[in-house]
Each structure stands twice: as C-alpha cells, then as structure tokens.
C-alpha cells in the first residue's frame, strides 16, 4: 500500500465509517479495512494517518485502535502459523522509526492504543531506533511518557544499562531548571515538577526488586535531589489547591523511594537516614496542620515509623532536641489523630466507606498510631507519659463541655484502642493506659446511654472498642450487656447500627480452649425474638436496606440459636421479603441466601416436619427467580432447591419432579451452557438422584441423566462436574439399572481421556473406577470395561489408575482408592498374578487429609459474574462415606491379604509395594512373611 493522498482519503473515510451509527456502514468499512490489511505497508500507512494533524481526533483514535490490533495479529513471526502473513522486516523498521516519537506527542487516548502496540513490539526486541528518542526527551515532554509501560522493556537485556543513565540525566536536568525557576510562575514550574514526579515513580519501579548497580553508584546524586524536594518551598504553586497537590505528589513519591531504600537497602542507605529523618520531621510539622494532605502525611509518617523501629537509627529521635520524643508526638502524631470535618461527612454520607477505612484502611489516624507504637519500641516510658498526658487532657476537655468537645473523647477512644492492639489483630492490654479503667468509666456509660442516637460518632467508637476487646469480656458481663447492644440496632446512624450488628456477629464466633463455642443457643434464647426483630427492622432503615453487616449478623445468629417454629415464621418472612427486592450488593445477597440455607438446615435438624413450611414459602419464590431469569440469583436458587430436595420426605412432590425433568431434558435451558451455573445445577441433579432413584428407574430417565454427564465431561471447565453426576449415579442406582449404560459411560470417558487428557479427568477416572469397584465388585468392573474393547481394563489400570493414585487427595478419597485397589488384588487373584503388579502409592495421611473448614469470610468483592460461582456454605452437600464399615484402609489391606493367603497357602508369592509409615511396616512385613507374601 503506497502512501499518497488517495490512500489517506481511503483510510480516513473507512475509519470514520467504523464510528457510524449505521450498522451497515460499519460492517462495510470493517470489511474493506480487513481486505486492505493484507497489503504490505498497511500498518505503516495507518501509523502515518495517525500522525496526520489534518485528520480529526476521533478518526485518528479509530485508526490507532486498528493499528494496535494489526500489530497484535501480524508483528510476531508466529503470525504465519495462524495463516496470517506477518509484517515484513522492512516495514517493521519504518514503523519502529515513527511509533515512539508519535506516541510521545499523541493525546492520551491515542497513546493508550499505541502503548499496546509498543508492548507487542517489545516482546520481540527493543528497537535501536528508539534510543535517540529516549535520550532527547525533555522535561516538558516527560509527562507524555507517563503511560509508557516500563515493564514491557524491563526484561530486555541491557535495557537498564541504557535507560538508567538517561533517566538520571533527565532528572538532574529538570532539577537544574527548577533551581533556576524556583521563584517563577506556577505555569513555568508545573511541567518541571510533573517531570520530577514521574522520574521518582520510575526510580521506584526500577529499584523495587533489587538495587541496580547504576543507582548504587549514583546514590549521592539521587538522594541529594530527593532531600531538596522535601525541603524546598514553591510559593507560586503552594498558594493554590491544585499547585499544592502537585507539590505533595512529588514529595509523596520521594517518601515512597526513601521508604523503599530504608526497608530493603538499609546498609547502602544508612548514611542518608539522619538527613531525611530531619527533613521529614520538619515537613510533617507543617503537613499535620492541614486536614487535606493525607497522602503526604501517611507517607512521611510511614518513613519515621520505619526509622523508629530500626536499632541502628532510632537514637535520631532522642537527639532531636531536649524533648525529642515529646516534640515528635505533639507536633506530628497527636494532630493527625484528631477527627476532621471530612471524617464526619463520610460518617454521615457514606457509611460503608467510613467503616472500611475505620476498620482496615491505611488512614492518617491509624498511621499516626503506628508511629507511636514504633517510638515505644525503644522509648516506651517517654511515649507512655506523652500518651497518658494527652488522653487525660482530651477527657478533661470533654468533661468541661461534652456537647462542644465530644471530638476530644472520640480522639481519646481512638488513641487507647489503637495503642492497645497489635498489627496481627490480636487485642492485648498495654502499659500505655489503664484500659480496664477506661472501659468502665468512658465506654460503658456510652453503651448504657438511654438515647442511642446522641453523639453517634462516640457511640460508634464505643461499639468498636467493645468489639475489639470482646474476647476479654467475661461471659456473664457480656450477656449482661447484650440487651443494651440490641437497642443500638435501631439507632438512626447507619455506622452505629452496623457496628452493633458487627459486635454481636463476632461475639458469637468466639471459641474457648478446645474449640468449644463460648456462646451457644441457650445463652441468647431470652433475647432471640427481640434480637431478630431488631435486625430485620434495621434492614428497613433508610440506606441500610442492603447492609451487609446486618444480614451477616442474621446469618450468624441463626447458626447459633435454638430454632423454634416462632423463629422460623419471623425469619422466613423477613428473609423472603428481603430477597424479593432484588438487591444489588453481591456480598449482601450472598449472606441473604446463606441465612436462608442455615435457617432451613438448623430448623429441619430440630424438626423435620418444618420442611413442608419451607417448601410452601420458598419453592414459589425460587421458581420465580428462575422464571424471571434473575441471573445474579440463579446459582443460589439452584443450591437452595437442592437443599430442599435432600430434606424432603419421599416420594418427591410432582412440582419437584417437573423441575427434574426440565433439568435433564435433551435440550435444556441455557443454564447448562453457563459455566458459573453448572456447579449449582449439578448439585441439584445430585440431590434428585440421591432422593428419587426409583423415579429415575421407573420413568426410564437414566439415559437423559447420562446425557448431561457426557455433555459436561466434554468441556475441560466442567469435566469434574460431569464426573460428580456419574459418581452419584453409581452410588445410588442399582447395578441392574446402570449395567446397560456402562458401555456408553466407559466409551465417553476413554474418548475424552484420549483426546483431552487432563489432571482433572485423570483424578476423576481414578475415583470413579474405585467407587464402581467397591459398589458393584471387581468382576463387574472388569467385564463392563472390557466390553468396550478387549483387555482395555489392563491398559487403563497400567497407564492411568496405578500412576494416578498419587493425585488423589482428601481422607475419604484416599480411603476409597486404597480399599478399591485392595479388593482388586485380593478378589481377583488369578488376574493379579498373571497380569498386574499393583502399587498402592500413599503419602502419609496427614499430608493428604483435607479438613472441612469453617465457613470462610466473604470478601467485599464476592459476587456473581459470568465466570464465577459462589458456593453456599450452609447448603454444602454432606458426602456419604460409601465405606462406612471400614475405618482403616491399611488394616483392611492387611486383613484382606491374610484371608487370601490363608485360603491359598503358599500360592501367591507376589510382590506388592505399599508405602507405609514406619510404625506400621514391621507388623505388616511380619504378617505377610507368615503367608509367604513379600512386601517392599
């Protein structure tokens, strides 16, 4: 494709047409561009169009997008493997010459696409044509480099040796220009400081993994400018909010760099520590006065905290003046603990974000307390004196005028709480302050206040305090406080009633020694109905309709409480009303369905007749979710339906059987094609197979069930789910029913094993063979497999079963495979002697057993996407051990071997390799030797 006026006109019109609202025009343009892309020099022509200033911005953006895709499909030599002709070397050279300067000069949106192209090019090599451009970058251009991704070049051999000197040259050149313009205008200084900020960010990236030799050799130059960045003032910039933000961004980047060096390269950095500590302390005194400079404040405090805990440098604080520690605390720590107006606004306007920051956030207040703890590492008496004095002063101020000085008490609560906790989350008493006295005199009065709506931030702080120290509360005292806490669930403040729910939920999780729950159902029975009523009422409060802390508390209470019919009626009505609103918060929604599941499970454990009430209330709503195609809820609905089916008393009702028929229909709904819904569908199908095997037999439905298995096992992402269906069929159906289908089953498995061999499928095959053998005997196993192909059983055992035994994990699965292998050896002795050397590969059981975990915490970003499935813990299928009469597979092996040898003495001197723990080897060898059977 030649570059001329005609080419420019053709390409610009086609790219413009790709943006047309007319679908036909778009398709026609895309077709013509696809054809044109096959011509040589097409990519070069598009790049020249992007550089053409006479073409409008939108058209050039579309061209940049097309260019990126063209490079992606045709740059690397492997493009030829896909039948697409790659870009010729001569065209690549010209593209390399043009693309880098064009990227630097382009708008951000075009840069985005060109950067993707750069990344692809750099996977092949770092073009030499770019080096002059890198060398000539000016400070005014450096911000155009912001989006250039260094990681796309960093792996290139020799890149650091080329780039690091260029970066330093630009950094020092910019510094000299700043020196000349220190008193200049904001317009003059802005690009220079932006350039320095970018250089600092790049410095951090290049030094993050290890200290490059170049930066080690030139540390004086870099650290000198860093110190200057922290110490210098820029009046023309700092007089405006935007300018101050720019200056603080540069200083924050510097703090990140010196933090990195302090943390990872302390030995090389130690000669600079004192100068930076003084500069940061001086800077922090000024920054602490401003309520809006959080980013810089936290970075600066982080650096001082690291210094304070370092044995080689902590003494810097002791010599920072006559009252060095006190001065640091008073000037840099305490001012950053005070509650600010924007904290109050966040408390009132966005309670979820306030809670997130208050509990887990890297906030200014939290970082300031970490500095106090750091200082206390070597100067505990001085810090304790300062903290005690400050807390007394704050509380005295509050006492003189509570209405006006309530923020002082909030600060005192935060200070005590922060200093009494460690980073690992274990809450411990400290010597900073008398925590027990503070709790009795200043926390309890807030909790017992008749008005739950007065001073809401103090109430929230007190509830947080109580939550943090919940494990230290004697049980009788905690139960005495319980009714008070229930009152706070009705507080108008969303943070307050959320913290009340959080406390109750976490209290019920506490365990004593031995793993026994500290609080059980009988403890909360006197308050249960009022508690549940208050929790559901809280979900009707403004903006708390999707409060995840409330719903999580409901779930936790139901997991502990003694569930009576009265509780069922109250909670079932409340929960079904809530999820009928179709809420949008994924975490909230998950806990709704967990709450329903735990209510059903625990109520039916106590009274199975309640299943009829759950059926009548839940089934129509779950069916409506499926009918309305509420995608977010469908996986949950299938899991709850599975739970209801498993709890139902046989025979299964016609309504459920109708759903079962839809589930296994030859052309089922799209749900089977949605991978994130398949686990829930399989869970429901397993429930039907377990509960209604006779209906499956009578209606001749097994063929359709196995059709589902075959469809699932064809797809790598659902192969395990297909095998779960198959295992359930084997476990619950009679052999006479499944025998006619076994040729189809084995053929399906062997075909997929041949064409799509995977570890998942291999493990599934081992477990299925083992399950079939223990349920229906070795003879039926061998016969059905060999019916597919003569002697295929031997090949499968040699090539897959024996080698893949080592893949099996989990106590029940290990037991199943071990017992199956033992039965094969001992129940088919002639076969074993002639054709098989069986190896039972077994790592020590403690390495393989997988204990059932407690319900995991659900992260805030949990949810339903097109690619994820979220399991309901409280619907978890309780696996039935198919070998309940066998407790020890090793003992079963020894016993079976003894019986075989006793019935045929001296006949079987074959060798079995069975890896045993040392304690079991001697007894086994002695026994087997007596029966003339060697064990190695």
787-796 pLDDT, tens digit each: 999 889 888 8
Which of 176-185, 662-671, 703-712, 884-893 has the weakest average pLDDT?
A: 662-671
Instruction: Say yes or no to pLDDT of 864 above 70.
Output: no
Could you give the CA distance from residue 287 to residue 306 in angstroms, rounded to a whole number?
A: 19
Residue 83: predicted pLDDT: 56
pLDDT at 147: 42
pLDDT given for residue 185 in this prediction: 83
Please state the domain extents for the chain.
1-136
User: pLDDT (tens digit, 9 = 90+) per residue, 523-566?
Assistant: 999 999 999 999 999 999 989 999 999 999 999 999 999 999 99
DSSP 3-state helix, strand, coil percentages of the chain (rounded to 5)? 75, 0, 25
Q: How confident is the model at residue 155 (pLDDT cuts 50, 70, 90)?
A: low
Give me the pLDDT at residue 839, please.
43
Which ranges of 734-873 would DSSP assign to H, the alpha helix?
735-738, 742-755, 759-776, 778-786, 792-796, 802-804, 811-827, 829-835, 845-848
| Residues whose CB falls within 8 Å of the CB of residue 439, separated by 6 or more in sequence, listed in order | 465, 469
Q: How far is CA 809 from CA 27, 483, 805, in A?
A: 53, 47, 9
Tokens in use for 475? 């049980």
Q: How sure is the predictor about 912, in pLDDT bands with cuts at 50, 70 and 90?
A: very low
Q: What is the mean pLDDT of residues 33-40?
A: 90
In this structure, of 242-256, 307-321, 583-597, 907-921, the range with the lowest mean pLDDT score is 907-921
**pLDDT(256) > 60:** yes
Q: What is the pLDDT of residue 78?
A: 59
> Which tens digits make up the pLDDT trace of 76-115?
765 445 557 788 888 888 888 888 788 878 887 888 888 8
Using a pLDDT cut of 90, give the percent of the chain over it: 42
Going by pLDDT thresholds of 50, 70 and 90, the confidence category of residue 845 is: very low
Is the pTM here over 0.85, yes or no? no
Residue 676: pLDDT band (50, 70, 90) is confident
Cβ–Cβ under 8 Å, residues 556 and 505: yes
| Angle of the 565-580 helix axis to the 611-627 helix axis, nearest 10 | 0
Query: What local confidence, expressed as pLDDT, does residue 840 receive?
Result: 45
Confidence of residue 645 (pLDDT cuts 50, 70, 90): very high
- Report how far apart, in Å, the C-alpha atoms of 580 and of each of 272, 620, 622, 788 are: 63, 11, 10, 52
Beta bridge pairs of residue 517: 511
Q: pLDDT tens digits for 571-610?
A: 999 998 888 888 888 899 999 999 999 999 999 999 999 9
**If we measure between CA atoms, which residue out of 795, 829, 852 comes closest to residue 903?**
829
Taking the C-alpha atoms of residue 346 and residue 353, their distance in angstroms, rounded to an integer, is 7
- Is residue 918 scored above 80 in pLDDT? no
Token code pair at residue 426 = 């274990």
- Percentage, residues of the chain above pLDDT 70: 83
H helices of 362-493, in order, are 364-400, 402-419, 435-438, 444-447, 456-468, 475-487
Res. 137: pLDDT tops 80: no
Q: How confident is the model at residue 121 (pLDDT cuts 50, 70, 90)?
A: confident
Question: Which position has the higher pLDDT, 582 or 246?
Answer: 246
Short-list 566, 583, 580, 648, CA closest to 614: 648
In the prediction, which pLDDT does 868 show? 56
**Per-residue model confidence as pLDDT tens digits over 609-624:** 999 999 999 999 999 9
* For residue 728, pLDDT beyond 90: yes
In this prediction, residues 791-819 reach a mean pLDDT of: 84
Residue 931 has pLDDT above 80, yes or no: no
If one compares 603 and 920, the residue with the highest pLDDT of the two is: 603
pLDDT at 842: 41
**Region 807-830: what's the mean pLDDT?**
81
Confidence band for 162, pLDDT divided at 50, 70 and 90: confident
**Predicted pLDDT of residue 904:** 62
* CB-CB contact of 814 with 842 (8 Å): yes
């Amino acid at each position: 494709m030649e570059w001329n006026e005609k080419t420019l006109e053709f390409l610009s019109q086609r790219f413009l047409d790709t943006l047309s609202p007319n679908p036909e025009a778009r398709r026609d343009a895309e077709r013509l561009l696809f054809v044109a892309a096959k011509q040589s020099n097409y990519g070069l022509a598009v790049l020249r169009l992007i550089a053409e200033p006479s073409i409008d911005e939108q058209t050039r953006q579309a061209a940049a997008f097309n260019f990126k895709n063209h490079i992606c499909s045709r740059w690397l030599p492997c493009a030829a493997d896909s039948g697409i002709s790659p870009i010729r070397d001569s065209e690549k050279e010209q593209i390399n010459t043009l693309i880098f300067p064009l990227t630097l000069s382009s708008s951000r949106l075009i840069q985005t696409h060109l950067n993707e192209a750069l990344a692809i090019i750099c996977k092949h090599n770092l073009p030499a044509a770019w080096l002059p451009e890198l060398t000539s970058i000016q400070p005014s251009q450096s911000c155009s480099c912001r989006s250039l991704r260094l990681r796309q070049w960093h792996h290139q051999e020799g890149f650091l040796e080329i780039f690091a000197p260029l970066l330093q040259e630009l950094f020092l050149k910019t510094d000299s220009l700043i020196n000349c313009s220190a008193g200049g205008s904001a317009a003059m200084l802005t690009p220079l400081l932006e350039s320095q900020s970018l250089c600092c960010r790049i410095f951090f990236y290049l030094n993050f993994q290890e200290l490059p030799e170049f930066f080690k050799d030139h540390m004086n130059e870099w650290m000198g400018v860093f110190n200057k960045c922290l110490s210098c003032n820029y009046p023309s910039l700092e007089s405006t909010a935007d300018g101050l933000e720019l200056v603080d961004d540069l200083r924050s980047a510097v703090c990140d760099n010196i933090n990195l060096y302090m943390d990872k390269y302390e030995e090389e950095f130690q000669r600079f520590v004192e100068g930076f500590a003084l500069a940061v302390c001086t800077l922090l005194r000024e920054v602490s006065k401003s309520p809006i400079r959080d980013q810089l404040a936290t970075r600066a405090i982080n650096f001082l905290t690291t210094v304070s805990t370092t044995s080689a440098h902590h003494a810097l604080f002791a010599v920072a003046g006559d009252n060095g520690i006190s001065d640091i605390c008073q000037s840099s720590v305490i001012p950053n603990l005070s509650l600010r107006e924007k904290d109050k606004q966040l408390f009132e306007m966005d309670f979820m974000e306030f809670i997130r920051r208050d509990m887990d956030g890297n906030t200014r207040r939290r970082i300031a307390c970490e500095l106090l703890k750091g200082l206390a590492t070597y100067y505990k008496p001085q810090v304790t004196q300062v903290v005690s004095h400050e807390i007394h002063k704050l509380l005295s101020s509050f006492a003189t005028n509570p209405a006006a000085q309530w923020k002082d008490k909030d600060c005192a609560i935060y200070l005590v709480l922060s200093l009494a906790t460690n980073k690992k989350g274990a809450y411990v008493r400290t010597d900073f302050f008398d925590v027990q006295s503070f709790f009795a005199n200043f926390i309890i009065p807030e909790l017992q206040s008749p008005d739950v709506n007065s001073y809401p931030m103090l109430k929230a702080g007190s509830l947080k305090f109580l939550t943090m120290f919940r494990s230290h509360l004697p049980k009788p005292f905690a139960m005495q406080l319980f009714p008070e806490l229930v009152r706070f669930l009705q507080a108008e403040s969303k943070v307050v009633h959320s913290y009340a729910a959080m406390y109750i939920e976490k209290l019920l999780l506490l365990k004593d020694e031995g793993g026994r729950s500290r609080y059980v159902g009988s403890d909360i029975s006197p308050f249960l109905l009022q508690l549940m009523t208050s929790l559901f009422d809280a979900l009707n409060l403004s903006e708390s309709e999707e409060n995840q802390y409330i719903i999580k508390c409901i779930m936790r209470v139901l997991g502990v409480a003694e569930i009576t019919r009265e509780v069922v009626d109250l909670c079932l009505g409340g929960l079904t009303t809530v999820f009928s609103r179709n809420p949008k918060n994924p975490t909230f929604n998950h806990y709704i369905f967990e709450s329903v599941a735990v209510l059903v499970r625990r109520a039916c454990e106590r009274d199975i007749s309640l299943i009829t009430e759950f059926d009548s209330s839940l089934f129509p709503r779950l069916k409506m979710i499926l009918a309305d195609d509420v995608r977010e809820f469908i996986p949950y609905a299938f899991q709850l339906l599975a739970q209801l089916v498993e709890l139902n008393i046989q025979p299964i009702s016609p309504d459920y059987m109708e759903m079962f028929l839809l589930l296994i229909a030859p052309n089922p709904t799209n749900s089977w094609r949605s991978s994130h819904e398949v686990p829930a569908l399989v869970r429901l199908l397993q429930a039907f197979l377990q509960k209604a095997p006779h209906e499956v037999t009578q209606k001749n439905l097994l063929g359709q069930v196995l059709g589902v298995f075959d469809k699932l096992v064809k797809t790598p992402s659902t192969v395990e789910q297909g095998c779960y269906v198959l295992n359930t069929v084997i476990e619950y159906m009679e052999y006479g029913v499944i025998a006619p289908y076994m040729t189809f089953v084995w053929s399906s498995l062997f075909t997929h094993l041949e064409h799509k061999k995977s570890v998942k499928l291999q493990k599934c095959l081992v477990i299925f063979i083992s399950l079939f053998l223990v349920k229906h005997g070795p003879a039926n196993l061998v016969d059905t497999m060999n019916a597919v192909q003569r002697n295929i059983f031997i090949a499968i055992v040699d090539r897959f079963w024996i080698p893949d035994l080592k893949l099996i994990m989990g106590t029940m699965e290990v037991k199943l495979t071990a017992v199956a292998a033992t039965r094969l050896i001992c129940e088919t002795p002639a076969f074993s002697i002639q054709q098989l050397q069986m190896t039972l590969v077994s790592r020590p059981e403690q390495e393989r057993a997988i204990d059932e975990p407690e319900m995991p915490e659900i992260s805030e970003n949990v949810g339903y996407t097109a690619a994820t499935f979220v399991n309901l813990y409280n619907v978890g299928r309780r696996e039935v051990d198919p070998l309940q009469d066998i407790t020890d597979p090793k003992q079963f092996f020894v016993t079976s071997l003894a019986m075989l040898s006793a019935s045929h003495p001296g006949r079987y001197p074959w060798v079995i390799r069975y890896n045993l723990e040392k304690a079991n080897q001697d007894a086994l060898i002695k026994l087997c030797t007596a029966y003339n059977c060697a064990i190695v």
